[in-house]
Amino acid sequence: AHVIKDADEITVGLPDGREFSAEKIVVDEPSDLAVLRVDTQGQSLPFVTLKPSETLEVGDLVLAIGNPFGVGQTVTSGIVSAQARSSLDINDFNFFIQTDAAINPGNSGGPLVAMDGRVVGINTAIYSRDGGSLGIGFAIPSEMVASVIAAAKTGQGDEKGIVRPWLGIGVQAITSDIADSLDFTRPHGVLVSDLHHASPAKKAGMKIGDVVLSINEREIREPAEMKFRMATIPLGEKAHFK
């Protein structure tokens, strides 16, 4: 979203030299994602498919594609350095794939591609002291990308953002001390510390002091992960909490 935020006119260029005009359909700043509609003038375009980022393992090879420093389409390679990286302050859903593939200014919005050619994330940021790549880049997971695309398709998003599920609870991380008091063998899950009076979770029976261990069978290890999981559940669907 930060790439096209202030754009009045957008042109999409293809490697074969073709150019098409595009318009903003959804601009979702909380996730730093945007959806553009391309006027293809009846021409067919090549496309890629998404792949769940959770199928990746640390050490897997990935490719980052973009236009760093405006030099032209560039592909760099690296590995998955970490999954579920949340100790950042990049967007409202701090939950990223970390890679050492060279990502530089101009790579934002480009895909992070697995070895089977499918897209596992969208490059969004780097950790850098001088503006260049230090081998610490971050990509928005494909699950979040899919949720924004779904919102665009169903009309639940526009240039002001998308509509997301609301849970109405406050949670805190499980520290080692809290884990000991709960007789956990290790810190995991999140502790429910607050419940809004209209919270659907409260209506379902959740209480302050409960510990959420998983959502839809996906383990929850920290508050940021819970926020991410809820943001990727389509409106109208049910979420199963453990």
Q: What is the DSSP string of 95-138?
A: -EEEE-S---TT-TTPEEEETTS-EEEEEEEE--SSSS--S-EE
32 tagged catalytic: yes
CA distance 24 to 90: 22
Catalytic residue among 32, 53, 100, 210: 32
| Structural tokens at position 53 | 């980022």
The pair of three-digit structure tokens given for residue 17, joined into one six-digit string: 């030299």
C-alpha closest to that of 50 among 157, 183, 139: 139
Task: Enumerate residues 6+ apart whose C-beta is below 8 A from 176.
Answer: 187
Residue 240 annotated among the catalytic residues of the structure: no
Whether 194 is a known active-site residue: answer no
CB 225 within 8 A of CB 210: no
Query: In this structure, are residues 144 and 193 in contact, taking their beta carbons and an 8 Å threshold?
Result: no
* CA dihedral sign of residues 181, 187, 189, 195: positive
- Of 31, 53, 81, 108, which is the active-site residue? 108
| Rounded distance between C-alpha atoms, residue 150 and residue 148, angstroms | 5
Three-state SS at 81: strand
d(CA 174, CA 163): 29
Residues belonging to the chain: 242
| Residues annotated as catalytic (active site), given as ranges | 2, 32, 108
